């Protein structure tokens, strides 16, 4: 996995947006996608808000995805495999870049047809613990016409990144504004943040 991690880190250093096309194995991505589908079918996914638990708000005109938080306490073998992968990545990131990451938080995100997330920063106004944002996609055979790109805003320009299967995107939470463009079919990911102690 070190080559995959280095690809993500090197592209981040070059462009402030790290991209690895094959961060997940196809098998792990398939199992995580299946989990997400079961959660959605069981009506366990909830409307996403903006802000944290102290300052949360819900507004479909800003953000219209639904989410489910991952936790090792759920004892799901595939989600725990994802956490094991993240532990490896964080250890490598800290060892090579001295980032001081001490934790992370991740959730499934499902954008149904016609949904989006307007331009925003991932950093809370009242809490600076989120240092890096990381999105890993679970969408097979994604086509340009499907929409749903991650649009990064940087230096007056935009970079559109397709949410194709197994890809991971990595950037500083408090620096780059970004948005999810309207998707034309269901769009699935694991989205989260690498954190430091406050």
pLDDT tens by residue, 128-179? 789 999 999 999 999 999 999 999 999 999 999 999 999 999 999 989 999 9
Q: Which pLDDT value is given to residue 123? A: 72
Mean pLDDT, the chain, rounded, equals: 92
Give, to the nearest 10 degrees, the angle between helix 2-15 and helix 77-97: 60
* Domain 2-51+60-195 top-level CATH class: mainly beta
Q: Which pLDDT value is given to residue 55? A: 47
pLDDT digits (tens, 9 = 90+) for 46-105: 998 655 554 445 556 788 899 999 999 999 999 999 999 999 999 999 999 999 999 999
Alpha helices in the chain (DSSP H): 2-15, 26-41, 77-97
Statement: residue 14 has pLDDT above 60: yes
Residue 197 or 106, more confident: 106
Q: In the structure, what pLDDT confidence band is assigned to residue 122 with cuts at 50, 70 and 90?
A: confident
> Long-range contacts of range 89-95, CB-CB < 8 Å, 24 or more positions apart?
89/1, 89/5, 89/8, 90/194, 92/2, 92/5, 92/9, 93/5, 93/9, 93/194
State the virtual CA torsion across 159, 109, 8, 20 in degrees, nearest 10: -80
Alpha helices in 98-150 (DSSP H): none
**Residue ranges of domains in the chain:** 2-51+60-195
Statement: residue 6 has pLDDT above 70: yes
pTM above 0.85, yes or no: yes
The structure tokens listed for 117 are 């997330």
Q: Which pLDDT value is given to residue 5? A: 96
């Amino acid at each position: 996995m070190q080559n995959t991690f280095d690809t993500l880190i090197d592209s981040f250093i070059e462009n402030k947006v790290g991209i690895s096309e094959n961060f997940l194995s196809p098998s792990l991505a398939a199992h995580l996608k299946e989990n997400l589908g079961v959660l959605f079918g069981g009506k366990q996914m909830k409307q996403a808000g903006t802000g944290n638990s102290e300052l949360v708000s819900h507004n479909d005109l800003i953000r219209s995805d639904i989410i489910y938080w991952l936790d090792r306490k759920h004892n799901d073998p595939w989600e725990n495999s994802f956490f094991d992968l993240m532990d490896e990545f964080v250890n490598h990131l800290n060892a090579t870049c001295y980032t001081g990451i001490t934790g992370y938080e991740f959730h499934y995100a499902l954008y149904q047809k016609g949904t989006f997330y307007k331009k925003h920063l991932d950093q809370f106004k009242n809490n600076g613990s989120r240092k890096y944002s990381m999105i890993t996609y679970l969408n097979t055979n994604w086509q340009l016409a499907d929409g749903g790109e991650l649009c990064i805003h940087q230096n007056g320009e935009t970079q559109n990144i397709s949410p194709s299967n197994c890809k991971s995107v990595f950037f500083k939470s408090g620096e780059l504004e970004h948005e999810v463009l309207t998707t034309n079919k269901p769009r699935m990911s694991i989205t989260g943040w690498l954190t430091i102690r406050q």
